[in-house]
Amino acid sequence: MDFADVVKQRRSIRAYDTEKQVSDAQLKELFSLVALSPSSYNLQPWEFIVVREKENKRRLRACAHNQQHVEDASATIIVLASLDPSGKAEAIIADRMKNRTMDNTKREQLLAAIEYFKSNPGHAKIWAIKSTSLACMTLMLAAQNMGLATCPMEGIDAEAIKKEFNIPKTHEVVMLITLGYQKGPQPPRPMRFGYEDIVRFETF
């Protein structure tokens, strides 16, 4: 599909065909694209829990102000951000050193940045959520291109989700994303501000 059409056709979909399921192969294809999202220092803080079992979706819906689409979608994805920036650093540094895209100076700079984030939890949280949110957008656009519908959701009780789904303190629940086959017509698009309203040049 033409990229502009993917962007234009992506909508937040709340009505799903409960008979049609997203396959394992589709999930694999989708997350292989999500993994290509950009992230600060390429540290890839995102992780995902795909919730597909009916009873688990029911439990998740109870943690999401009872929003029906959490249960009706084929899968609802719990999007997590790891708050430990060192989590994947070792493998990423080893790979860059091997490929010679990183020297010792750059390695030290990255380790210093990681230490900074570790000693500033508030900053680490913002850091992790920023990159993970970009991965969410990749997920929604890639799903659209595969003929699947999504809805991002932050109307949730993150603490309840953490408790119900055994999510450790090291991880933040960023949002839920419902995923499945749309039922019924496209909903009317809510208004958008345009070019003149949102773009300035050179300075505020």
Ligand X SMILES: Cc1cc2nc3c(=O)[nH]c(=O)nc-3n(C[C@H](O)[C@H](O)[C@H](O)COP(=O)(O)O)c2cc1C
- Interface with ligand X by CB under 6 A: which residues? 11-12, 14, 67, 151-155, 175, 190
- Tokens read off for 28: 């694999």
Sequence-separated (6 or more) residues with CB below 8 Å from residue 193: none
Whole-number minimum distance, CB 94 to ligand X, in Å?
34
**Cβ distance to ligand X smaller for residue 15 or 113:** 15
**Cβ distance to ligand X smaller for residue 61 or 171:** 61
- Side by side, the strands of the sheet bearing 46-51 are 46-51, 75-82, 171-180, 149-153
Using Cβ positions, the residue closest to ligand X within the complex turns out to be: 155
Whole-number minimum distance, CB 134 to ligand X, in Å?
12
Whole-number minimum distance, CB 176 to ligand X, in Å?
8
Q: What torsion, rounded to 10 degrees, do the Cα atoms 16, 179, 79, 67 define? A: 0
**Cβ distance to ligand X smaller for residue 70 or 114:** 70
For residues 78 and 66, what is the distance between their CA atoms, to the nearest angstrom? 15
If we measure between CA atoms, which residue out of 46, 35, 73, 57 comes closest to residue 165? 57
**Cβ distance to ligand X smaller for residue 141 or 167:** 141
Whole-number minimum distance, CB 148 to ligand X, in Å?
14
